[in-house]
Structure 1
Amino acid sequence: MADQSVFRITKELSELQKNSDLSLAVACRDIDVRNVKAMIIGPHETPYEFGFFEFSFKFGKDYPRKSPTVTAITTNGGRCRFNPNIYANGRVCLSILGTWRGERGEEWSAAQGLESILISIQSLMSANPYENEPGFEDANEAQDKKCQKDYVQKIRHETLRISVIQRLEEYLGVQPDGSVSTPVPNQEDYDLDMDVMDDDSSAPFEPFRDLCKRRFLWYYDSYLAAVKKGKEEVKDGQVFTRMPFEGSSNTMEGKFNYTELERRLRNIKKALDAETEGWAAEGLAAKTKDNTVAVNLQRQFEQVVQSFKDADIPHNIELEDGNPFVWNITYFGKPMTNLDGGLFRIKMCFSTRFPEEQPRVKFETRLFHHRISPDGTPCYFAPPTRREDAKSHIQAIIEALEEETPAYDPRTLVHPEAFKLFWGSAEDRRMYNRRLRRSVQQSIEDC
């Protein structure tokens, strides 16, 4: 039975890691698949938008006959209740977990699994999470509407402050005052991880560090837009309103200070840019030592250059100063498309910890495109099974650029203005195409 349980968990993990869902991620240490960490990225058009919410899953030997134990980790050290059903102590109340009463047929069954639990938790992160509170439908209408608005406002603020800003500051060693120190593990995460670490490990398990850094670069302008919206609705120093269902030790308390959050967001962006720039120097040092990653990237570079020649692909790739960790790509716009005639310079930077840390890419030539952020960071999806293949990253970037009829996906919202025009009315789309063509023309004039 125990072997069947491990097989089932391993299969579910593998399936989730192979899919291209941009809002869910799972990981575990190789020594123990029964202890899993999961990340849910907050849904678009909710107060949780693009926040990083982490959960721990503990699977018993009787899984899947019985559900796993699920604990919310993103709670600001047990001080923040992010939802009527997600408590400050980490308790997640769901009928399928047996932690909340539900209607007949809503209880756990062996047909459910890790993904269905994550989707159920994600569904709690709605545009109006106040509705998750039992008895909501019987609440006083006038008072209830005010509570809903107040609740959304403080969740939006704390999503930014706790799930995004605090997390990235810890990863980067950025202090709230903007100073930078050596990154230290979050003690709360360290304590939660102690029961899943092997005897030789002295550090907490942080599988989503690189993912959060890259997604922060994707969603940076959306975070700033959330700050702008917050400033329009509340004043700095205004105290959070306590909800009727919040108890003394199970609440979300604090004060609004969007001015401070904006300053900290900008400091994180600077630190991430500096970290990326630092990879070049680290790479040159690794090259002189014939580091394994340096040798691998040099070989991959030569193979990609040759494959482009063999396939008569016009794009050009060169190493910056002979550094295999910095690739300069010249992309020529695809004929007969809005990109036709464009000439774009793209820089791809690799870490000496590649592929654990994925490459960071930036368009140095400005391009108004719904899949490229205002600072030039492209939103693309390299195949999860080929993370170590540099060529697959280049191909994925080009595919994202040239895709003419993409499916609507708010998780790719990296350029708010371009995204809104691209998915807006017919007139909006025409405006989008005009601005795209204008940036293409400008790329030619700048050459």
Structure 2
Amino acid sequence: MSDQAILRITREIKQIQQGSDLSLAVACQDSDIRKVQALVVGPPETPYEFGFFEFSIKFGRNYPAHPPTVQAVTTNGGRCRFNPNIYASGKVCLSILGTWRGESGEQWSSAQGLESVLISIQSLMSSNPYENEPGYENATSSKDKRNMTSYVAKIRHESLRLAVIAPLEASLGIRPDGTVVPPDVDDEEEGGDRDADDDDSFSSEDEEFRPFFDVRKRRFLWYYESYVRSIDKAEPEVRAQQRFERMPFEGEGNTMDGHFDYPELRRRISLIRKTILDETHRWASQGKVALLREAGIAVNLQRQYEQIREDLKRRNHFTIDLNLSEANPFVWELTYFGRPMTKLDGGIFRIRIHLSPRFPDEQPRVFVETALFHCRVSRDGVLCYFPKRLEEMRSHIEAIVAALEEDEPPYDPRITVHPEASRLFWGSPDDRKQYNRLLRRSVERSAEDVF
């Protein structure tokens, strides 16, 4: 591969990593930039909603004259076909990849790149994927309509089971019996032995290279309520242990077989949340050990804290009070005083920032401990925010404040961390008025709770 092609691939990877599209993530190892792992987050209001679908992408020596090869990884060990165009074998059928015949103008051109490939894959994850199969796009019979409903139902179930739950259980060390063995305690059996239905949906060609574990955990906390709502809505629509219906286009060895078990998904998803929160709280004790050992990360975070404190003092910044919990640089306590003439005017909000000993590879988890009805704050207090520089805590502090104060955030359903608040905020004018009333009420209560 030419140096020019290597530079192009590098540029395309950085564009996605530094871009604002929350539905795409890419990573590669420095040893071979031609092999890329990609994560596509399932689009909202589809049966794939907020699932984490992983793909392995390889750039050949003739790139960009020819497209890269793409293999779906989230296939339950080659036993689950997630789409008419995403096979259980991992094959992705797209004209842009040269794996499917397409209309004129749909084929690959050197003007396209990694992002266009991922967007094309994401476009397959529609609200009615049944129509992706050639010959079924105009299906109108009553039987076809029943099949569409059945197909959407099983994709929704398996997206939760295999694209959300299974990879998170693996990264958290949750065994099938519900016991938890954190990966740093038992690296050789990460995630424990799994029953056959949950085999290897999270694995990749290189078992040691798993770049999206932290992304999945943070996003899970964002989307937890959406997952629960999906279960609440879908569970009454199927019978317990009801088998999936096989579609006309599903052939032997290329199917999505199984059965519905939403009570079990609810149990597992609740345990994942508890385990992530337990892991988050363990960071404090791990941080104390790092501090006693004078580890570089502890020294670095202590220095960053002191610099930010000094800067706030120098600028007479009265809207933020920043402290360390028990002098631990891995737990920051931020008190935010609502800025005058804003919707948060007069409010007092306590915010806790948990930092990992592996920062910045593991990003902070931020919780607003004061009850606040806000479209960027989940019911559990998880804050959705976006720092410009992941390695700088100053950038995190600025982004936390900006997320709270932003009056008119652009609509993006992938930041739906509080479904009810988001529905009101981006709804009708009357909905927005109701949102503002609930927000203002929580602001007033925040000050009352302090006094």
Distance 1:420 1:167 in 2: 29
Go from structure 1 to structure 2 and tell me whether the alpha carbon gap of 1:137 and 1:269 turns closer, same or farther (over 3 Å shift): closer
Which residue is equivalent to 2:134?
134
For 1:200, the equivalent position in structure 2 comes to: none
Deviation at 1:188, TM superposition (A): 4.1
- Give the drift of 1:312: 1.9
Aligned residue in 2 for 1:23: 23
Q: Is it true that 1:335 corresponds to 2:334 in the alignment?
A: no
Map 1:89-128 to 2 at 5 A. Answer: 89-128=89-128
Structure 1: stretches of 5+ with no match in the other structure: 195-202
Q: 2:231 aligns with which of 218, 227, 231?
A: 227
What corresponds to 2:313 in structure 1?
309
1:374 aligns with 2:388: no
Residue in structure 1 matched with residue 151 of structure 2 by the alignment: 151
Task: Name the SS for the 1:361 alignment partner.
Answer: strand
Query: What TM-score comes out, normalization by structure 2 length?
Result: 0.95
Paired with 1:444 and 1:367, the residues of 2 have a C-alpha distance of 11
Aligned partners of 1:223, 1:327: CA distance in 2, in Å? 29
Between 280-289 and 168-177, report the one with greater CA deviation: 168-177
Amino acid at match of 1:167: P
Residue in structure 2 matching 1:394, options 382, 393, 397? 397
For residue 70 of structure 1, what is the amino acid of its counterpart? V
CA distance in 2, matches of 1:253, 1:311: 62
Tell me what 1:198 maps to.
none
Seen in structure 2, the aligned counterparts of structure 1 residues 262 and 395 have a Cα distance that, compared at 3 Å, is same
Does structure 1 residue 431 correspond to structure 2 residue 434? yes
TM-score (norm: length of structure 1): 0.96
The answer to whether structure 1 residue 56 and structure 2 residue 59 are counterparts is no
**Which residue identity is paired with 2:342?**
T
Q: How far is 1:307 from its partner?
A: 1.3
- How many angstroms does 1:138 deviate by? 5.0
Q: For the Cα contact (< 8 Å) 2:76–2:201, is it kept in 1?
A: no
Contact kept? 2:163, 2:201, Cα under 8 Å: no
Determine the structure 1 residue equivalent to 2:173.
Answer: 173
2:296 to 282, 286, 292: 292
Contact 1:46 1:126 in 2 (8 A): yes
CA deviation map 1:328-368 (0-9, x unaligned): 00011121122110000000011110000001110111100
Deviations 1:120-167 (A, max 9, x none): 000000111111010014535211111111011000000000010011
1:193 aligns to 2:198 (yes or no): no
Bigger Cα displacement from structure 2, 35-44 vs 302-311: 302-311
What is the distance in 2 between the residues matched to 1:441 and 1:177?
45
The alpha-carbon deviation at position 232 of structure 1 amounts to: 2.5
Q: Letter of the aligned partner of 2:50 in structure 1?
A: F
Q: Counterparts of 1:341-380 in structure 2 under 5 Å?
A: 341-380=346-385
- Which amino acid in the other structure matches residue 304 of structure 2? Q
Structure 2: distance between partners of 1:301 and 1:138: 60
User: Aligned partner of 1:431: which letter?
Assistant: Q
Between the two proteins, what is the percent identity of the paired residues?
A: 59
Letter in 2 for 1:105: G
Distance 2:180 2:408 in 1: 43
Q: 1:176 deviation in Å?
A: 3.2
Is this contact kept in 2: 1:39–1:55, CA < 8 A?
yes
Q: Distance in 1 between matches of 2:71 and 2:165?
A: 21
- State the alpha-carbon separation in 2 of the partners of residues 336 and 192 from structure 1: 51
How far does residue 190 in structure 1 lie from its aligned partner after superposition?
9.1
Q: How many residues align?
A: 437
Matched, 1:253 2:245: no
Give the AA of the match of 1:238. Q
Aligned ranges 1:274-285 → 2 under 5 Å:
274-285=278-289
Runs of at least 5 residues in structure 2 that lack an aligned partner in the other structure: 184-188, 192-198
